[in-house]
Structure formats: structure tokens, C-alpha cells
């Protein structure tokens, strides 16, 4: 067994660092889960948030066409649709909640779906949902 001389042991400590922002440049805001970048609140719908949702909705048309045509082809039957009420989103929190609801519905649907190609296409919709949630939560 080795014996160590306690006097020769060195203490390692973390160096003290001070970060300063160059004059004239404001500090960069850090994102947080509840406030996004720069302290924007989940209670207000900004133009960037509206744009993110608009892009998401535009992409949904392509996803819907792919899913409907693929399902009708593989199942060899025509789908029927129910009218759904339009959901109004007044705040970013409403938008994020709506996207979470959609994500959960898609997860349940994937669990019931016997066709792997449709499950894979639903994964692409979930990817769009995740990208939009990121934009709503963390970008101004």
C-alpha cells in the first residue's frame, strides 16, 4: 500500500473568471423555457410567433395530402371527414398548448396505425410541430 505525504498534496480549484461585454454591445439574452429569448412572455403573440404558426399551417396542407393519399392507397378506401371547429389562438401559450395537443393526438394515432409508412409520415408532422414549438418558445 502506498503512503502519500499529506503536505505534498495540492488543492485544485476552479479559476475565477469574469466575463465583460464590450462597450456598445448589449448582452445577449438567454432563452428560458417559460419566457423565450429576451424575456418575451408566453402571454403575447408576436409577429414572429404568428409567422411561425403561419408557416406551420402552410406545411400542414402538404402533410395532410401525403397522409390522406397514402392512407387511402394502402387501405384501399376513401376517408370521410368531420368538420372541426376552428381553434382561436390568442397567445403564445395557446399556440404551444395547441401544438402539444396535436402531438399527443398523433402519438395515439400512431399507436393504432398498422401501416409503417403512415406512421413514418406522422413522424414528419411531429417534427414540424417540434420545430414550431421551438420557434414559439425561444425566438422573438
Q: Is the pTM of this model over 0.85?
A: no
Residue ranges covered by each domain of the chain? 39-138
Question: What pLDDT, on the 0 to 100 scale, is given for residue 35?
Answer: 43
Model confidence pLDDT, tens digit, residues 2-35: 455 555 544 444 444 443 444 444 444 444 444 4
Task: Pick the more confident residue, 102 or 21.
Answer: 102
Work out the burial of residue 106: count CB atoms within 10 Å of its CB; fewer than 13 is exposed, 13-18 middle, 19 or more buried: middle
Distances 112 to 66, 76, 86, 117 between C-alpha atoms, Å: 18, 18, 26, 13
pLDDT, tens digit (0-9, with 9 covering 90-100), for 30-88:
444 444 444 444 456 678 788 888 888 889 999 999 999 999 999 999 999 888 888 88
CA distances from 33 to 42, 101, 130, 133, 138 (A): 10, 18, 14, 11, 8
Amino acid at each position: 500500500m502506498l503512503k502519500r505525504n499529506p503536505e505534498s498534496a495540492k488543492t485544485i480549484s476552479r479559476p475565477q473568471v469574469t466575463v465583460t461585454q464590450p462597450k456598445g454591445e448589449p448582452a445577449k439574452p438567454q432563452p428560458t423555457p417559460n419566457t423565450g429569448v429576451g424575456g418575451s412572455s408566453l402571454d403575447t403573440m408576436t409577429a414572429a410567433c404568428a409567422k411561425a404558426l403561419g408557416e406551420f399551417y402552410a406545411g400542414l396542407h402538404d402533410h395532410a395530402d401525403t397522409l390522406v393519399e397514402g392512407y387511402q392507397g394502402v387501405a384501399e378506401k376513401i376517408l370521410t371527414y368531420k368538420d372541426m371547429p376552428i381553434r382561436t389562438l390568442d397567445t403564445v401559450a395557446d399556440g404551444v398548448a395547441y401544438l402539444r395537443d396535436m402531438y399527443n393526438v398523433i402519438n395515439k394515432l400512431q399507436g393504432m396505425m398498422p401501416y409503417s409508412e403512415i406512421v413514418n409520415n406522422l413522424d414528419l408532422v411531429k417534427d414540424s410541430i417540434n420545430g414550431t414549438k421551438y420557434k414559439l418558445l425561444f425566438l422573438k
